[in-house]
Structures are given as structure tokens and as C-alpha cells.
Structure 1
Amino acid sequence: MKQSTFIRRIFASLFAVLICSAVFGLVRARTIESVTFLMAAPFADATRDLVKQFNQEHRGEINLQVVRGPLETEAMSDLAISSLLLGKAPFDGLLMDVTWLPKYAAAGWMEPLEDFFNEKDVHALAIGAREGNSYDGHLYRWPLTADMGLLYYRTDLMEQPPETPEELVLVSQSLQTDRKVDWGYVWQGRQYEGLSCVYLEMIDGFGGDWLQPNNNHIGLDLDPGVQAAAWLQELIDQGVSPNAVTNYAEPEALQSFKVGDAAFMRNWPYAWTELQKSDSAVKGNVGITTMVARPGHSTATLGSWGLTVLKGSAHVNASIEAIRFLTNESSQKQLFLKHGYTPTQQSVFDDPQLLQDKPILAEFGQALKVVKARPETPLYAQISDVLTRQLSSILTRETTPKDGMNVATSHTNQILISAGEKL
């Protein structure tokens, strides 16, 4: 009797273990991977519907959450770096500006992505969108949106846009003389990253280089570098650009152009959508082209945002699944149509119906073919700060273009030598 009772207890215990194991296995099978991405506020807002769609399609498997970061790029970078310096980041993925990649890669903060995206994936990207995603032989970033500097112009004031710096000045002065506009050209002249982007387009436009990628040779103090700085200074001196341009970032330049004060504006693709709104005085009278330059040297500063997986993430595969979804052709079309973000997939630029409905897409595609990345070095923030300080002094006539570019070259050289990036 006792033995029978004991056996029954053993079987009961085994049955209980089996039931618990089955339940535990079922729970494990239904465990949802929670993935968190940090994005700057505009992108977090723009991808909200896509995130909902992703979570619906991956219900019971992956739940993607997006942390809404700051609005400004520099504030976003500060937040990301502060989080990463604490050790294990509180998120799996990060939407990063193209200039951050060398610094983050050198610090070992990102997972290499070449095992997840192959050559076929890379070749499916538009040519310009392939830039700025790799460092030191590894793929670290997958582009969510393309971005490049553009020259906006008033189609009601001219049949064709100028192609050279000299032509832009002449057209501007003619329109100002005829009192058709208050200003010829508005751009980003404040002492911040936007000024580096403006200058990059002009030093390349005059046939030079800021920093050569193969040998870190600095070209700021050579003729094209000095000419670029002098041209920007002369825009203000000649009254083509307002004195206030030295305080302009993208929003201020956009506002001036949007109300009809200026004939030309340097800005990014997002401005196109803003200029088509009902409160725009120039709606229907705007065209875009690449920046003025010497023949054959037109350049657009690359300014894209891309997604990366952070080192130490426990959800690498799930993060990759989310990245693929957010950057696929359908998502790219939605981001372009609803929010004006430039696509990265070449198939979107080749879509005949989309090109018919949105002819501006073809112009974006052409500009994307002449993009140029800013110097790809972990020290980029330091050398950009050196450049903008000297440019600001030049624009406000505290120094001459020649002297300012000599100082910028010397300080940049010191930074590179101190870090062992130059002998």
C-alpha cells in the first residue's frame, strides 16, 4: 500500500514536472523580443506609423519601441554619447547622423552589419546612399533617409538657375536692382555644423578638398579653400546675402526664402515640403538644383541618417529585422510621400508612377549622384569646430580669408598629429 502510494506520488511529481516544463516551454516560445531604438524627434514622429505596422506584422514575436530624442542633431549626439559612456546602452539601435559613424566605430560602440546586409543589398541602394555607412572595412550603418545640400531658386524670377558662383551673384544683384527680392542668397552662416556643410560644397566647387581621405592632406589654406571662404564673405559685403545670415541656421534661411525675401537658398530636401504648404508665398514657384561651382565640380554635402545596432544588444537579429522593415521600398515611399524624406532605395527613384506624381523625386535623385561626405575621421567634431570658428571670424571681418584658413589649417594639423592620424 505504502509502495503504491509512493509510486503514485512519483508519477504525480513527474506529471507536474512535465506540465510545468510544457507550460514553461510554451511561455518561452511566446516570449516577445522587445527592441528599442533611439531616434531624433523628427524621425521618431515620421516613423510612428511604420513602427505600428511593424509591430502588427510581428505580433507575438518582436515589439519595436522608439525613444523620441531631442530635435537638434548636436543635442541628439550628446544624449547618445552620454548613454553609451555609461556602459551598456539602454537601447538596441540608434538612428545616427553620417558624421558620427567614425567616432562611434572607433570607440567600439556598434555591431558590424556585413553579416546581415550583402552586396546585393548595397547595390540596391541609390549611389549616393551607399556613402557614409562603413568605416575601417566594416559596414556599421544602414541608411534610413538620404540627405544632401541643395540650391533652391525662384522659377518665377528666372528660366534657368545659375551654374557658377559668379552667375549666382550677377543674377542676385540684377533681381535686387529691379526690387524683385530683398536678398539674393540665404544660407547657413551661423557658427555651427551647417556652416561646415556650406563651406564643403564651396571648397569642392572651387576644385579643392577640405581633407583628402587617403593621406589626411589639408586643403583649407590652398587657393580653392581661400577662394571659397572669400566668396562667402563677399556675399555679405556685396549685399547679396544679409548681415544677419551669420546668425542663420536652416530654419532662418527657410523662413526668409519662404516669405519671398530671397531668390536663392541653400538647404536640405526637407525644405521642399515646407515650401509647398499653403502658408508659403513661393508655393509653385520653386525649383532645385545642385550647388553653384566651377564647371564639373558641383557638390552636395552628404547629410544622411542611418540605423545601427549597438554593441551588447541582446536582440541583434530582431533589431536587424526592424531595420530592414523601416528601410524597405514600401517604407521609403511612405517616408517620402508623407514627410518629404529622400529615399535610399534606387527602386523608389525608378518608380514611373511616383516620378509622374512627384517630379521633384528625379531632381533629388540627380543631386544624390554628386554627394560628398564630410571628412571621415573620429576627430570630425574637433576639426569641424576649428573650421566654423575661423569661418565665423572671416564672415564677420575679424580676420581675412587667407589668415583664417591658415589658422584653420594649422589647428587641424595639430589635432590630427596629436591623435596619431598624421605624421
Structure 2
Amino acid sequence: MPRTTSLSRRRLLAAGTGLAAGLATGCGAGAGGAPDLDAAAEVPTGDVTLDWWSFRMATADGGDVRETLVRAFSRRHPNIRVNLVEAPANTDITRTTLSTAVASGAPSPDLYMGDVAWPAQFAYNALALPLGSLLPGAFWEGFPDALVRALSFEDEPYAFPFYIDQSYLYYRADLLDKHGLAVPRTWEEVARAATAVRRAGDADMGLVLQGAVYEGLTANVAELVADAGGTVLDPTGGRVTLGGAAGERAFGFLQDALADGVVPAAVATFKEQDSTDAFTGGRAVFLRNWAYVWGVVEGAGSPVAGRVGVMPRPGFDGGGPGGHGCLGGWCNFVNPHAAQPGAAVAFARFCAGEEAQMIIVRDTAYLPALSAARASDEARGSRTPTLALAGEVRLVARPTQSPRYPQVSKALYTRANTVLSGGASAADALAGARADMAAALRGESL
């Protein structure tokens, strides 16, 4: 059984000199000096202990899958003890605390879980060990391209894959059946079905999604742009590509959906929980949301349990094949100043490997990152449809390849929200988003 300790935010902050000081350097190795890649490449043979900053990951029977993973790793490396360091439940606190500690050169934690949106930012600010020289190219071929791109900065990976989250379209199967409507395969069909059910008085809302002024709207827009055949940034993250026919179609869909009552006016204030509540409360026909929501809509006490279907998101009529889903999830970063870099790399690589990824498939509701695990018989035969369908989703990364992603995201979601709130036309919002994102990439404050 791994030992679990609590490393308080105060203790980590005491090791650092402040987030601002760490980020001000912009690049370089930080206070702890250049990372020791030679040490990171060697798995230690003597007895060592590494600290893994992570949060509890529930299993189907109420356990913690981290303990299962540590035990499995220990069978291969009995000399390496993995100490679980409990991370805060709040992602923003986790990011700030880790950034402060690592920027100061703190050697602990050796390994830490982080959001898949962080790699470019953490790489740019020397907060993660570069992995390009430590792993063969074949290692990365085992994972979805969108995930590898999200974990990389300037063509070098800075984090190990761990688990994925992705979005789906949930729908009221009972209401579609009642009105003789087929499961929609395009957004135009979604709009028509939503309108038919609403007009019949069987739902107050047609489609609900995450339209508030926050990063969740960035994910929604990135998906719609991909559905229309476009992108938000170029592969390097240095140039805005949002625009043209794809941008017009994505922003135009949001404008038309609001004007036609397909999405409610309140959607401009909705985050994940708000949209989920509207759907599980029986008020909406369709819901765009993340994989975890299946457990909510089918959970004990859900008024719509047993009446919901789920599918990969549709595409646009006459467009590409659809099935896009925004990439979420968490990965493992190695502290560039780690006391045990070789042990940290070994454990992170194990967590990304087949044995650990299949443990995730069999024991949890999390979605594996490894393509072979996503396509395995166990995954495809799962009674949890979000897992069974995982391999069919065409993953779309948010515009995280820029180290200025927070500013780029803000520029995008702020302008997109003006469409959903009725404050701007699709054309004006699209032009504004392009200009604001370009300014963000130049380092200009918004």
C-alpha cells in the first residue's frame, strides 16, 4: 500500500519565491539549474522514494486507482517507492502552487499531474522536464495525434499521457422516439429535432452547452470550427487561423441557434453544471458535455435515467464526417529539478503504458489515453457508452499549443459569448476574436 501524505500549499509556497518571479524569466531552467537529462534517462537500481502529486481517482468499487497503479508498478520496480502527495481539489490552486514551487527550484514533488492544457505554458516557463531525448518516437505513435500535439511545445513533448476526457452529445432518446425523430447526424438535424420537440411542449430548451464567459466556451467553439473543417491556431501556435468559411459557419451556427430558440438565452451563462442540471431536470432535448456526465444522467436519483442516449458530436450538413470531441484530461509532468528524475520518468512511462491503461479501462470510468486501450475489446464492449464510443471520437485540442493560451482562450470565449448573449453579430464577433487572439499572441494585454 503506498503511503499518502498531504503536502500543504503553505509548505510548497515556502519553498518558492512567487509565481510572478518564476514566470518572469519566460524561459530557462529556473532556480534549480538545468535539468539533469542523464539522470532522468536512468532507472535507479537502489532504493528510492518519489513524490507523486496527484488527486484521488475513484474506482467502480469506491477505491482509489492510484493505489492499484502503484502496486502494479512496484511489482516491476520493487526498489522504487511511490509516495502519494494529495493535490488540492481546485485546479487553479494546483496550477499556482505547482508553478510557484517548481519555478523556485523545489525538488518535490518529483512528478505531478496536470491538465492537458498546461504543457506549452509550463514548457515555456521551464516548469516541466523536456522528454524528447528520453523516449523513442515510436512511444508517441501509440497515442492520438491531438493528444501528442497538446503535450508538446515547439515539437518537443513535455508531459506523459495519462487519461483523457472528451465531449459527446447526449440526447433524450424517449422524446425522439415519441416524435418519430431519428438520432441526428448533423447540427442542422439537431436544430430541427430540438424545434419539433419544443413546439410540442415536451421540453423548454432544445440544445444546451457551455456558453458562459470562460474556457468551456473555447472548447465548444474549437469543436464547431473543427466540424466546419477549420482550426483556431496554426500547428505552431503562433498564428490565428480562425476565420473564413469554417469560422463563419461555427459562429453563424451559434447566432442562428439563439435566434431560432434552439439554444436558450440563458446558455450565455451556462457552465458544465448548469447545462447538466437543465438536461437531467428534463428541460432540454440535447446536451453537449464531457464524458463524466454519463454517470450523472444515469446516476441514482436522475429524473431522466434510462431515457438518455449518447453519441459522438455530429458534424455540419455537407461538411466533414463529424464526430469531433474536444480534448480534456490529465497528464504527468516530471519536475525538472526532481530529486529522483529517473524514478519519476519510469513511473510516468508506466502509467502511460498498456498495463496501467488497461487498469484504467477495467477499474474506473476514466478514458484511457493509449489508442490500443481505447480500441480494446474491453473498452468497446463496456456497458458505459462513453467508454465504448471513445475510439470513435475525433479528438480536437483547444488552442493550447501557444504558451499564451490563457490569453488566447479569453479572447475567443469573450467574443463568442457576445453572439450567444445577442450582443454582437457572428461576423463582428468573429472579426473581433481574430483581432484579439492576434494581440494575445503578440503579448498584448486584453
> What TM bracket, shorter-length normalisation?
0.7 to 0.9
Greater displacement, 263-272 / 352-361: 352-361
Q: Identify if the C-alpha distance between structure 1 residues 40 and 252 changes in structure 2 by more than 3 Å, giving closer, same or farther.
A: farther
1:309 is displaced (CA, Å) by: 0.6
Correspondence list, 1:365-380, <5 A: 365-367=391-393, 369-380=394-405
1:211 is displaced (CA, Å) by: 1.6
Q: Which residue is 2:261 aligned to? A: 239
Q: Which amino acid aligns with 1:344?
A: A
CA contact (8 A) 1:46 1:339 kept: no
The alignment partner of 2:381 has SS state of helix
Q: Which residue is 1:176 aligned to? A: 198
Question: Could you tell me how far apart the structure 2 residues matched to 1:138 and 1:220 are?
Answer: 24
2:390 is aligned with 1:364: yes
1:319 is displaced (CA, Å) by: 0.9
Q: Which residue is 1:222 aligned to? A: 244
CA contact (8 A) 1:220 1:406 kept: no
Give the share of equivalent positions with the same residue, in percent: 24
2:159 is aligned with 1:141: yes
2:139 is aligned with 1:121: yes
CA contact (8 A) 2:165 2:329 kept: yes
The alignment partner of 2:114 has SS state of strand
Question: Could you tell me how far apart the structure 1 residues matched to 2:71 and 2:276 are?
Answer: 33
CA contact (8 A) 2:80 2:343 kept: yes
Q: Which residue is 2:320 aligned to? A: 296
Question: Could you tell me how far apart the structure 2 residues matched to 1:164 and 1:156 are?
Answer: 19
1:80 is displaced (CA, Å) by: 2.4
Q: Identify if the C-alpha distance between structure 1 residues 228 and 74 changes in structure 2 by more than 3 Å, giving closer, same or farther.
A: farther
Question: Could you tell me how far apart the structure 1 residues matched to 2:298 and 2:355 are?
Answer: 23
CA contact (8 A) 2:252 2:426 kept: yes
CA contact (8 A) 2:230 2:246 kept: yes
CA contact (8 A) 1:273 1:339 kept: no
Task: State the structure with more CA Rg.
Answer: 1
Correspondence list, 1:146-161, <5 A: 146-158=164-176, 160-161=182-183
Structure 1, unpaired ranges of 5+: 1-28
Q: Which residue is 2:6 aligned to? A: none
Question: Could you tell me how far apart the structure 2 residues matched to 1:200 and 1:354 are?
Answer: 27
Which of these residues, 304, 308, 322, is aligned with residue 286 of structure 1? 308
2:442 is aligned with 1:417: yes
1:133 is displaced (CA, Å) by: 2.3
Q: Which residue is 1:264 aligned to? A: 286
CA contact (8 A) 2:111 2:333 kept: yes
Greater displacement, 63-72 / 260-269: 63-72
Question: Could you tell me how far apart the structure 2 residues matched to 1:289 and 1:82 are?
Answer: 41
Question: Could you tell me how far apart the structure 1 residues matched to 2:291 and 2:184 are?
Answer: 19
Q: Identify if the C-alpha distance between structure 1 residues 149 and 104 changes in structure 2 by more than 3 Å, giving closer, same or farther.
A: same
Q: Identify if the C-alpha distance between structure 1 residues 207 and 351 changes in structure 2 by more than 3 Å, giving closer, same or farther.
A: closer
Q: Which residue is 1:404 aligned to? A: 429
Q: Which residue is 1:22 aligned to? A: none
Question: Could you tell me how far apart the structure 1 residues matched to 2:110 and 2:414 are?
Answer: 35
CA contact (8 A) 2:267 2:420 kept: no
Question: Could you tell me how far apart the structure 2 residues matched to 1:256 and 1:190 are?
Answer: 15
The alignment partner of 1:146 has SS state of strand
CA contact (8 A) 2:103 2:126 kept: no
Q: Which residue is 1:34 aligned to? A: 49
Which of the two has greater helix per residue?
A: 1
2:126 is aligned with 1:111: no
Greater displacement, 104-113 / 295-304: 295-304
Structure 2, unpaired ranges of 5+: 1-43
Greater displacement, 233-242 / 245-254: 233-242
Q: Which residue is 1:347 aligned to? A: 372
Q: Which amino acid aligns with 1:334?
A: I
* Residue deviations 1:378-397 (CA, integer Å, cap 9, x gap): 11111111112222233222
1:249 is displaced (CA, Å) by: 1.5
* Residue deviations 1:283-320 (CA, integer Å, cap 9, x gap): 33333323232221623222232112111112111112
* Residue deviations 1:138-161 (CA, integer Å, cap 9, x gap): 222111112222212222233643
Q: TM-score, normalised by structure 1?
A: 0.82
Give the root-mean-square deviation of aligned CA atoms. Answer: 2.9
1:89 is displaced (CA, Å) by: 5.2
CA contact (8 A) 1:213 1:375 kept: no
Question: Could you tell me how far apart the structure 2 residues matched to 1:329 and 1:177 are?
Answer: 50
Q: Which amino acid aligns with 2:155?
A: G
